[in-house]
Structures are given as structure tokens and as C-alpha cells.
Structure 1
Amino acid sequence: MSDDLEILLTNDDGIDSTGIRALHDALSEHANVTVVAPADDRSACGRSLSHEVQVDERELGYAVHGTPADCVVAGLAELGPFPDLVVAGCNKGANLGEYVLGRSGTISAAVEAAFFDVPAIATSLYVPVDDTPFAEIDVTADEYAEAARVTSYFAEHALEAGVFEHAAYLNINVPLPDGEPAPIEITQPSKRYEMDAERDGAHVTLHDRVWDDMDPGSLPDAAGTDRRAVVEGRISVSPLTAPHSTNHHEVLTELADGYLETVTSGER
């Protein structure tokens, strides 16, 4: 990684999180890193954007009182030197499957960068959970070491190798370290989706059932998916594009062609 490489680093857990510090320290060894990150936790906010945000200068960098998308726009357009690469993370908790791509603040930061034509990497750490509430689980700096190492590896090599000529951003999910470096598998996002809801009077509780069964022996996700790779102890790297592609089919064209005729004739 060249010392001349400019990296904009952001996240959605907030500028004071352990994960962003781990990536900052690793990337700063061989690159110029500018941190523009939310002032507080903005997890699962997607690409929500503000019209105006307050910015504070902290020890690590700029703290934006807004979303990860705000941070990328502010960082690229105003606060920092225009970077060669945007890195988002390291997120506490995995970002796996198609259904999280528009929900995750970490991934949304990478997507926002893609619209600026800046390559991006989104990195998340898979943290298995039991009965302990996720917010109460403490992840140490050492547990982010594998994630920091693999992110630095791709930051150093992916640009020169031409990876971003074929992908707008990489979604990297890393298992907790177990003493030995984990292998990398190139994956595609799992299509698994198991959301439901339960009403109790005036309240509706939403449940994400995808995480209910994460046992490697019974995991329903197919081979080659991000979820299976991580659960089985491999680093998942999904090369993704933005904006999303369209599927233009003649059936839709025929329906569109009949619109004016239907409206003018009074039919429905």
C-alpha cells in the first residue's frame, strides 16, 4: 500500500467505536487516512441523508452528527482530500444477505461512494450471539485484528489489480479470529429472508428470524453464499455493483404500451 494512497474511512457504529479505530490504525500504517464518521451510532439507517449536519473535530477525525451517507458526501465533497478509496467499518456484527444491502449503514456508505465513482470496501465482523443482548456484547480490539488485516490487504492490492473495474464495492464479512488466518471465499449475498411481525395492542414487534439458525450443520444457506462462508469460518468477499441493474422484459413493454389505450377508453 502506497503512503500516497488516500483513504476516506467511515462507519455506522460511530466515531468512538472500537471497530473504526482498528481499521484506522491498520490502514494508517501505509496510507493517508481521513476519518469522517457519525458522531454516534447510526446502525441500520440505510442511505438516509440529511440536508444539514453539524461537524465536530475529534482526535480520530471529523465527527458528523448525521448518517454514514452524510459522512461520505461531506467527506468527498468538502472535508477531506478526494480519496482513492472509501472504507466503511469495521462494523460490529455481520452484514450478510441481499436484504441487508439497502438497510445497513456500513454498506450504504460504500454505495454512496460508488455514486461518486470512488471504489469502496465495507467490512463487518460476524459476532455469534447466544442469549446475551447484542448491545451488551463487548468486542475487543484484538477481535477486530483479522478484519483489519484483510481490509488492509484489499486496500493495498485491489485497486492496482483492477478489481474495481468489475465491482463498485466489496462487501467483506469476517469471522472472529481463532488463532490462524482465515481463508477467503468470493461469495454472493444469500437470498434468505425470514422477517415477520407480532402485534401486542398498539405495538408491533419486528423479528429477523434469519439469525435464529446459524449452526453450520443445519444452516439452510447454499454453498457459495456469504452467510455459509462466514459461519463455516471463512472470510466472505462479495463483489457488488451500484446502481442496481434493471431487467427489461417484453412483457412489461407490452403492459406499458397498453396504458394510454386503457386510460382513454375508461377501462381498468
Structure 2
Amino acid sequence: MDEPHVLLTNDDGIDSVGFRALYDALSRFADVTAVAPNGDKSAVGRAMSREVQVETHDLGYAIHGTPADCVVVGLEALCPDVDMVVAGCNRGANLGAYVLGRSGTVSAAVEAAFFDVPAIAVSLYVPGADGEWQEKAKDPLDYRNATAATTYLVDHALGAGVFEQAEYLNVNAPIHHEDDDPAPIEITEPSTLYDMRAERDGERISLTDNIWARMRDGDIPDPEGTDRRAIVEGRVSVSPLTAPHTTQHHEALDALAETYLT
């Protein structure tokens, strides 16, 4: 296809390292318009604002709002002629079915899907103990696996017909280390493992996602073919997904409806 026009957003903020790494990589072959939050809006899901302030930025537009806001504002008001929406690169993986609704990065891709615009959400797996991982992935080169996989998919997925079946792709890449070989791509499904914990201490209750600790310890029961298994073993996980909630016929619910008010 001709030079694709890409709307690039994220939830870490327009000035984050991962965002700039992906912007620079995509700009080598695509027309990229940045429409991203002016600051960190991580883990806000598909939260939506009634009104947002827009500022011009060297890369495009900085939005005082959420990632979902950015997609709506971009597709409706700022750059409605894009071929694809890309969200990322997020510092921190977005793995597992339970994460899809929480992540601002993934939610931006979901929002695009409701506009019938193909989308890719991109995140970087940054291993480390509590707090330790936040000191990593501060160099654009750390994102090389993520940017390489994303540019490949943006360049080829539309022409290959990928989005005739999938509405968006959730991509997670391992962090790149010097002298590493490029990480291969594996097509995956979101893991169904769920291990949230809540612990009460007087008037305070701490909520912990215990999966991260299990990943650090190598305690990963996820089977082959899941996103978490792929990323822990050093592969780029690409999950093809659809956005609308699915439904099916339920005979038991039909029976309840028939006896209502009787």
C-alpha cells in the first residue's frame, strides 16, 4: 500500500520514551500524527471525558484527557483520514484477558475498533522486582523488539487481510538487551490466569496483582499459545482480538424471562 497514515497514541504520555521510540520507527515509512495524553494516564481503561483541551506539540497534538479521548478526538476532529491507530509503546506489559479492560493502551485500540479503524496496542515487558522495573526501559534501544514487530505489522497486516478477521492486535514484546537476537513473533491468545489478592490491615486494604511476582519467580502455569507464556520465554506476543462483547443464545435465561411476572 501507499504510505500509511497512522494515528499514534498511548497512555504513558506524549513525552514518554516508548512513545518517541515508536513514533521515530513508524515515521521511517508512514505519515504519523501523534494524538496522545499530555501526561501519564496509565490504567484508566476506556474512561472518557466530556471535554478536553488540545495543545500543539512537536509530534502532533497533546490532549488533556485519556487514551480513549485521544482516539475519539483524533478520528473525529484532528486526523479523520488515518489508515490505522497504534497505541504505545507502553512501558510495562499488558498481558492476560483480565488486563484488557484496565489498560489505557489497549483501550485506545478498542476505541478505534468501534470506529472500524484497524488498531494495534503495543507494550513492553519490563521484568524486575517491585519498583525495580520502573528504573528500566529508559533508552529507546530497549524498545527495539517492540518497534521492529510493530513496524512490520503496520507495513504488512492491512495488505495481508489480517483485519478482515481481527479488529485489533495486542502486541507485547520483551525488552531488548545489547547483543540480543531479534525476538520472533508468536500468535497467541490472552492468558486466563487471574491472581488478584486483597489484604486488610485495619482500615486499609492493599490490592496486589500476584501474577507479576509469579512471573519473576518463574511460576507460570500458562500453557503454550498464551501471551504470558510467549513473553516470558522471550517471544513477541501478538493476540488478534475483537472489540464488541459477544453474546449467544441462553435457554436458561429464556426460561426465566418467560416466567417473569407470572
Partner of 1:26: 25
Partner of 2:59: 60
- Where in structure 2 are the equivalents of 1:211-222 lying within 5 Å? 211-214=212-215, 218-222=219-223
Q: Which runs of 4+ in 1 moved over 3 A?
A: 131-138, 215-218
Shift of 1:257: 1.6
Higher alpha-carbon Rg: 1
Relative to the length of structure 2, the TM-score reads 0.95
Letter in 1 for 2:224: A
Letter in 2 for 1:27: L
- Where in structure 2 are the equivalents of 1:168-247 lying within 5 Å? 168-178=167-177, 179-214=180-215, 218-247=219-248
Alpha-carbon distance between aligned partners in 1 of 2:94 and 2:219, rounded to the nearest angstrom: 20
Shift of 1:202: 2.7
Q: Percent of counterpart pairs with the same letter?
A: 63
Secondary structure in 2 matching 1:198: strand
2:126–2:137 contact (8 Å) kept in structure 1: no
2:128–2:216 contact (8 Å) kept in structure 1: no
Partner of 2:103: 104
Secondary structure in 1 matching 2:111: helix
Alpha-carbon distance between aligned partners in 2 of 1:34 and 1:163, rounded to the nearest angstrom: 23
2:74 counterpart of 1:75: yes
2:221 counterpart of 1:254: no
Secondary structure in 2 matching 1:124: strand
Shift of 1:220: 1.2
Alpha-carbon distance between aligned partners in 2 of 1:180 and 1:93, rounded to the nearest angstrom: 21
- Where in structure 2 are the equivalents of 1:8-157 lying within 5 Å? 8-157=7-156
Secondary structure in 2 matching 1:246: coil
Residue by residue, what CA displacement relative to the aligned partner does 1:144-163 show, whole Å, maximum 9, x if unpaired? 11111110000000001000
Alignment CA distance shift 1:216-1:208 (3 Å):
closer
Unaligned runs of 5+ in 1: 262-268
Letter in 1 for 2:176: P
Secondary structure in 2 matching 1:214: helix
Deviates more, 1:232-241 or 1:246-255: 246-255
Alpha-carbon distance between aligned partners in 2 of 1:91 and 1:202, rounded to the nearest angstrom: 33
Shift of 1:61: 1.5
Alignment CA distance shift 1:81-1:116 (3 Å):
closer
Letter in 2 for 1:42: K
Q: How many residues align?
A: 260
2:2 counterpart of 1:2: yes
Relative to the length of structure 1, the TM-score reads 0.93
Shift of 1:133: 4.3
Unaligned runs of 5+ in 2: none
Alpha-carbon distance between aligned partners in 1 of 2:52 and 2:206, rounded to the nearest angstrom: 31
